[in-house]
Amino acid sequence: MSYIAGAGTTPRLRVLTLGFKHGRTTRHLQERIMPWIYLFFAGLFEIGWAIGLKYTDGFTRPLPTVLTVVSMTISVGLLGLALKDLPVGTAYAVWTGIGTVGTALLGMWLLGEPAAAIRLGCIGLIVCGIVGLKLVA
């Protein structure tokens, strides 16, 4: 809340426009943000299928195999939705980046993979690249 000069003590709310000029509809906001939301969740499902592959034991365990294939399908489907509005190079790099970072971190946490400082630093560089691609897209 903020007070507007000359308005006495009546509080007025400032409206956040997120870069849109007044008069634009919510539809414009959804068109701008929804592809990134699809891409984010596609990346999360990519993490799911990448980690899931480890638990399938070469596709010999039925439940982990089914869950992994479902996660793959959802991941690629959401990537496809994001690609309707985002450049393919940017979307693919962000998708694989989310998957790479998440899989590496979960590998350390769930599977006991090494968490050396240089490895964590490289993961940080990938995160910087993802953020950079989002900022210039």
Does the reported pTM lie above 0.85?
no
CA distances from 124 to 46, 53, 55 (A): 19, 24, 26
- Mean pLDDT (the chain) is 85
Q: What is the pLDDT of residue 7?
A: 52
Cβ partners under 8 Å of residue 5, min gap 6: none
Tens digits of residue pLDDT in 3-60 = 445 555 555 544 444 555 555 667 666 778 999 999 999 999 999 999 999 999 999 9
- Rounded mean pLDDT, 89-99: 94
pLDDT class of 69 with cuts at 50, 70, 90: very high
Which range is least confidently modeled, 11-15, 107-111, 119-123? Answer: 11-15
Residue ranges of domains in the chain: 33-136
Give yes or no for residue 108 having a pLDDT over 90: yes
